[in-house]
Amino acid sequence: MMRMSNELFLKRAAEEDGCMISAIGLKPLYAKTAEPAQQAGEPVRFAFRTLISYRRRALRLTMEDVAQKAKVELDELLEIEENASYVPEPRTVQKLAGLLKLPIEELLVLSGNATAANAVLTEAAVRFAARSRAVEKLNREQNDALNEFVKVLVDQKASARKK
Amino acid sequence: MAAHLDWAPVRLEALTRLFETKESWPEHWHWDWSKKADLLDLLAYRCMGIECEGHLQGLMMTSTIAKNSRLRPRGKAILYIEYIESAPWNLKALVENPKYSGVGIALLEAAIEFSEEEGFGGRIGLHSLPQSEEFYRNYMTDMGPDPDHAEGLRYFEMSAEQARAFLEGRK
């Protein structure tokens, strides 16, 4: 890791000259509290976009690869991976499920297109969201979290079929 | 959050003064850290601060999952700065003689370092408040107003190459 020299730091600090440096995120810190129903869905949608991102990386696919192979616009893929409030069209979810080998029904629930039949999926999604962070390459911890969550999705699908 | 308590009296004093002179005051002062503290339970979020003489001089909150790069190579992971701020006594707009300079530079350097550690190559991004745009324009690319941002703030991004240039003093 390269560090700035002391001399350069002093030069840059002089350039800063006591100016404002404030920046504010996509979700403003002073944002009004969301409706209870929306709050409940937030970790689930966070889990959806993280799942897509992790799964893509685990399969060693770039965003461009996914866009091309699943025939999804790159802009929409960026939106899906970055914007937890974005609800993709069911058809897009279907394309992603096919390419990333994830069960479609569960993915529709996570993406906000359908309602969960029970709490197992949403609870697993909340756990996954809490353990998630983005990295260029998944490490063991992230891989474990991903595999555990995918297992819940597949188990859910299997138990739904039995019924 | 400790910064809220520590910075509040100076802000209050400055607000009173700005009110008397009918100047506008920074719009972000009603941020409520306590409402977002729960985000720090998520591994994707991290908070960093600079402490000197027993006081927080600057604070930054980052996310490794909020955005991907808009600059080429597009779609790469970046470190997104959710929030960054310098203590009020370090700002020329509020006090006659700011105590410390370089808080923003030190936090930007820390953000680049963290981005590199995460394998993001030093890429970082943020939405600047209007008063801070000039500062970020010196080192980052101004991508213009972001329609996805609730306040329509301008989005700034630093590529891996710009991060190296920042650290090496090429700009």
Instruction: Compute the distance between CA of residue A81 and CA of residue A88 in angstroms, rounded to an integer.
Output: 11
Q: Compute the average pLDDT of residues A86-98.
A: 87
Of the pLDDT bands very low, low, confident and very high (cuts 50, 70, 90), residue A40 is: very low
pLDDT higher than threshold 70 for residue B35: no
Q: How many CA atoms lie within 13 A of B109 on its CB side?
A: 21
CA of B162 to nearest chain A CA: how many angstroms apart? 13
Report pLDDT digits (tens) over A49-61: 889 988 998 888 8
| Chain B CB contacts of A56 below 8 Å | none
Specify the higher pLDDT residue, B71 or A157. Answer: B71
pLDDT higher than threshold 60 for residue B140: yes
Instruction: Compute the distance between CA of residue A61 and CA of residue A47 in angstroms, rounded to an integer.
Output: 19
Instruction: Compute the distance between CA of residue A40 and CA of residue A45 in angstroms, rounded to an integer.
Output: 10
pLDDT higher than threshold 60 for residue B33: no
Q: Is the dihedral of CA A96, A98, A103, A108 positive or negative?
A: positive
Q: Compute the average pLDDT of residues A74-93.
A: 85
Closest CB to B68: pick one of A9, A30, A81.
A81
| Chain B CB contacts of A82 below 8 Å | 66-68
pLDDT higher than threshold 70 for residue A135: no
Contact B129, B27 (CB under 8 A): yes
Closest CB to B75: pick one of A31, A74, A133.
A74
Domain limits at B68? 2-168
B51: three-class secondary structure by DSSP: strand
Closest CB to B44: pick one of A16, A21, A134.
A134
Closest CB to A24: pick one of B65, B91, B127.
B127
Residue A44 has a pLDDT of 83
| Chain A CB contacts of B24 below 8 Å | none
User: Hey, are the CB atoms on A24 and B43 less than 8 Å from each other?
Assistant: no
CA of A153 to nearest chain B CA: how many angstroms apart? 21
Contact B103, B116 (CB under 8 A): no
| Chain B CB contacts of A131 below 8 Å | 43
Residue B61 has a pLDDT of 87
Closest CB to A24: pick one of B76, B105, B151.
B151
Q: For strand B141-145 and strand B124-128, is the pairing parallel, antiparallel, or unpaired?
A: unpaired
Closest CB to A21: pick one of B30, B86, B118.
B86
Residue A39 has a pLDDT of 38
Name the helix (H) or strand (E) containing A124.
helix A119-131
User: Hey, are the CB atoms on B68 and A24 less than 8 Å from each other?
Assistant: no
Instruction: Compute the distance between CA of residue A134 and CA of residue B77 in angstroms, rounded to an integer.
Output: 8
Interface test with A, best of B35, B52, B65, B129 (most A CBs within 10 A): B65
User: Hey, are the CB atoms on B101 and A1 less than 8 Å from each other?
Assistant: no
Specify the higher pLDDT residue, B32 or A97. Answer: A97
R_g of chain A, CA atoms, integer Å: 20
Q: What is the mean pLDDT of chain B?
A: 83
Specify the higher pLDDT residue, A38 or B43. Answer: B43
Contact A54, A102 (CB under 8 A): no
Domain total in chain B: 1
User: Hey, are the CB atoms on A20 and B129 less than 8 Å from each other?
Assistant: yes
Interface test with B, best of A22, A46, A52, A131 (most B CBs within 10 A): A22
Of the pLDDT bands very low, low, confident and very high (cuts 50, 70, 90), residue B108 is: very high
CA of A101 to nearest chain B CA: how many angstroms apart? 22
Specify the higher pLDDT residue, A135 or B120. Answer: B120
Residue A66 has a pLDDT of 92
| Chain B CB contacts of A23 below 8 Å | 81, 83-84, 126-129, 132, 136, 153, 156
What DSSP string describes B53-87?
A: TTEEEEEEEEESSS-B-SSSSTT-B-EEEEEEEE-
When mean pLDDT is compared over A83-97, B4-18, B74-88, B102-116, the highest value belongs to B102-116
Q: Compute the average pLDDT of residues B64-74.
A: 86
> What does the H/E/C string look like for A28-60?
CCCCCCCCHHHHHHHHHHHHHHHHHHHHHHHCC
Say which CATH number the domain at B17 has.
Answer: 3.40.630.30
| CA angle at B121 for the pair B117 and B122, rounded to the nearest 5° | 80
Of the pLDDT bands very low, low, confident and very high (cuts 50, 70, 90), residue B71 is: very high
Amino acid at B89: W
CA of A159 to nearest chain B CA: how many angstroms apart? 30
- Residue ranges of domains in chain A, CATH in brackets: 38-162 (1.10.260)
Phi, psi (rounded to 5 degrees) for B169: 80, 25
pLDDT higher than threshold 70 for residue A11: yes
